[in-house]
Amino acid sequence: MPVNQSSRNSIKRLGIAWSLLLSLLASQSWAAAEIEPALTADENALIGWLEDQDAQMLAMLERLTNINSGSLNKAGVDEMAQIFASELRQMGFSTSSLPGEVIEMPSCPGSNYSVDVADHMLASKPGNGPRLLLMGHLDTVFPPDSPFQTFRTEGDTIYGPGVTDMKGGLVVMLYALKALAETGELDAMDMTILLNSDEEMGSLSSRKYLEEQAAEHDWGLVYESSGSDTLTRQRKGLGQARLVVNGRASHAGGAHEQGRSAIKELAYKIVEIEQMTDYETGVTVNVGVVSGGEARNTVAPCAEALVDLRYPEPQQGEAAAEQFADIFGNVYSYPIDSGEITTEHWINLHRPPKIPTAESDYLLEKTRAIGRLLGQELGVTDSGGGTDGSLTQAAGLPTLDSLGIAGTGAHSNREEARISSLVERAQLSALLIRRLVNE
């Protein structure tokens, strides 16, 4: 109801204001990011150099977009990794590949949920001052047989698979570094670049590398997009589950009573799973893919489902995972003790919620203040979508995860991005890196 809602909102706002005040008092050194000193002559030169890179940046994005790098297309992901490794070596980085792996998942006979993850790319260079970790992903959600494959521009808009999520961001990152290399400043910087190949599958293989690197660095920068003209402050946690129900096949006419329908059992489970969604607490559950059965006239021997989970607080994720396990393990359609229905499942809380800290807010506000120096007014938003920044932030690295291109429509054939934001975001990033290192 409107009255309750608005009073809840004002209580919530009061709570947020109070916790902000407390966090400001607790760490005054992180509180002064709203005003940044004016641009220096060196910085104007840096910005000017990038101003002239618009055509090169767009050409680079076209080249990357025309390489299909769907998460399971190893050849394409590897080709992307090689392009970045070679560019980064030219700037003085040493590069290596971090092994991917095969991740086994339960599945019905004939379907295969297991994923074979390509290698990840790591580049690093020693230097002085704060240690920066820059991150991005090489993969997209579009497999080689997707109808959405081509790069195309119209006015100030680019259309294409991955232009927003996140090949545009990779170009932004690369050109920010090129600008710093051009002015000679990159040489002295202590920096690591981690580009993973499985972000769109939940970073199941790269998580350990991201967490390891998080512990070794002082600031984390992720080049995902945050829509148009915004930066993301806070994100929900993400979980995923795969469920396989095994029953017993039988002729649907001749021996119906001997069958044990896996589809019927899965249907009961789906109703239970969907009831976990609670908009009040922010926990949402989505049974996104269901398949099973062999023929219309066969009682289904196997059925499977993929489930998505979003949650604002870490303990809500843990509670939901327990509830999944209960529902998956229970049998609703036949006597539970008969053993005629069996299940296998896999549950993974692959992204913790990204909860702001005084340091990450400092990084965010500093970036916005630098944006204002450049005439870029950047709003702040919260998101139900996860990034690798959630992993590094939870591992203790203050992380800003939305430094990429301005674009929308990720994960759909409406994916598009604003061409002029390539240069704008590279300028923002080059200045941010410069000022983080020199402060």
Interface with Zn ion includes 424 (CB under 5 A)? Answer: no
Q: Give the residues across from 285 on adjacent strands.
A: 309
User: Within 289-328, which residues bind Zn ion (CB under 5 A)?
Assistant: none
User: Within 69-98, which residues bind Zn ion (CB under 5 A)?
Assistant: none
Interface with Zn ion includes 422 (CB under 5 A)? Answer: no
Minimum Å gap between C-beta 314 and Zn ion is: 22
Helix, strand counts (H, E) of the chain: 11, 20
Instruction: Please give the size of the binding site for Zn ion, defined by CB under 5 A.
Output: 3
DSSP run (H or E) holding 195: strand 189-196
Contact 345, 330 (CB under 8 A): no
The smaller minimum CB distance to Zn ion, of residues 194 and 358, is found at 194
Q: Which two tokens stand for residue 149?
A: 């494959």
Minimum Å gap between C-beta 197 and Zn ion is: 12
Minimum Å gap between C-beta 385 and Zn ion is: 8
The smaller minimum CB distance to Zn ion, of residues 224 and 304, is found at 224
The smaller minimum CB distance to Zn ion, of residues 140 and 343, is found at 140
Minimum Å gap between C-beta 221 and Zn ion is: 14
Contact 179, 51 (CB under 8 A): no
Task: Give strand ranges (E) for 209-334.
Answer: 219-222, 230-235, 237-246, 250-251, 284-292, 298-299, 302-311
The smaller minimum CB distance to Zn ion, of residues 225 and 246, is found at 225
The smaller minimum CB distance to Zn ion, of residues 166 and 320, is found at 166
Interface with Zn ion includes 166 (CB under 5 A)? Answer: yes
The smaller minimum CB distance to Zn ion, of residues 91 and 405, is found at 405
Residue 197: closest CA among 221, 147, 162, 227: 162
Residue nearest to Zn ion according to CB distances in the complex = 165
Give start and end residues of each alpha helix (H) in 190-288: 207-216, 262-274
Q: Which range touches Zn ion (CB under 5 A), out of 47-55, 98-106, 146-154, 165-173?
A: 165-173
Interface with Zn ion includes 388 (CB under 5 A)? Answer: no
The smaller minimum CB distance to Zn ion, of residues 410 and 426, is found at 410
Contact 249, 299 (CB under 8 A): yes
DSSP 343-410: EEEEEEEEE--B---HHHHHHHHHHHHHHHHTT---EEEEESS--HHHHHHHTT--EE---S--EE-T
Give start and end residues of each alpha helix (H) in 130-259: 168-182, 207-216
Residue 362: closest CA among 166, 231, 236: 231
Minimum Å gap between C-beta 192 and Zn ion is: 19
User: Within 216-255, which residues bind Zn ion (CB under 5 A)?
Assistant: 224
Q: Which range touches Zn ion (CB under 5 A), out of 32-40, 106-114, 158-166, 241-249?
A: 158-166
Q: Name which position in 165, 359, 365, 401 contacts Zn ion (CB under 5 A).
A: 165
Chain residues that interact with Zn ion, rule: CB under 5 A: 165-166, 224
